[in-house]
């Protein structure tokens, strides 16, 4: 069974950086797409970025363009979300999610596009 474990969250001041990790197990060599999502207090969960085993990537959130990047280490089955220029509005619980059997990222960040979810890691940005 696929399991996803996020790490790397924490508290930073505005303008700071964090790198989140999503360690995946149970992929069994399958093609995959892994996306990062976030949910701020009182708001709906939104897609951030996605990367696939076919080296496809998709940005779901205009608000993070130029600040967040996604990468993967296939040998470690780990996907990273590098966040720079953090703003207070980036405060949220960040989740990674996976869908198997595909080499491309889902075009939309609809939740049903992803079958497996991690427990999330909190990111807090203070002004």
pLDDT digit string (tens) for 24-54? 999 988 999 999 999 999 999 999 999 999 9
Pair type for strands 121-126 and 10-13: parallel
pLDDT for 111: 84
pLDDT for 62: 95
DSSP assignment string, 22-88: EEEE--TT--EEEEEEEE-TTS--EEEEEEETTS-EEE--GGGTTTEEEEEETTTTEEEEEE-S--G
| Phi, psi angle pair for 22, to nearest 5° | -125, 105
User: What is the average pLDDT across 100-125?
Assistant: 95
Cα-Cα-Cα-Cα dihedral of 87, 49, 65, 89, to 10°?
Answer: -20
58-89 pLDDT, tens digit per residue, is 999 999 999 999 999 988 999 999 999 999 99
| Phi, psi angle pair for 89, to nearest 5° | -70, -5
Count of CA atoms in the C-beta half-sphere (13 A) of 99: 21
């Amino acid at each position: 069974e696929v399991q996803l474990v996020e790490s790397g969250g924490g508290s930073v001041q505005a303008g700071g950086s964090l790198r989140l990790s999503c360690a995946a197990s149970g992929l069994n060599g399958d093609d995959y797409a892994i996306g990062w999502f976030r949910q701020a207090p009182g708001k709906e969960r939104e897609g951030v970025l996605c990367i696939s085993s076919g080296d496809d990537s998709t940005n779901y959130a205009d608000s993070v363009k130029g600040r967040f990047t996604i990468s993967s280490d296939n040998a470690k089955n780990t996907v990273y979300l590098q966040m720079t220029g953090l703003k207070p509005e980036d405060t949220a619980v960040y989740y990674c999610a996976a869908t198997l059997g595909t080499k491309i990222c889902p075009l939309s960040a609809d939740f049903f596009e992803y079958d497996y979810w991690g427990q999330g890691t909190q990111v807090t940005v203070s002004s």
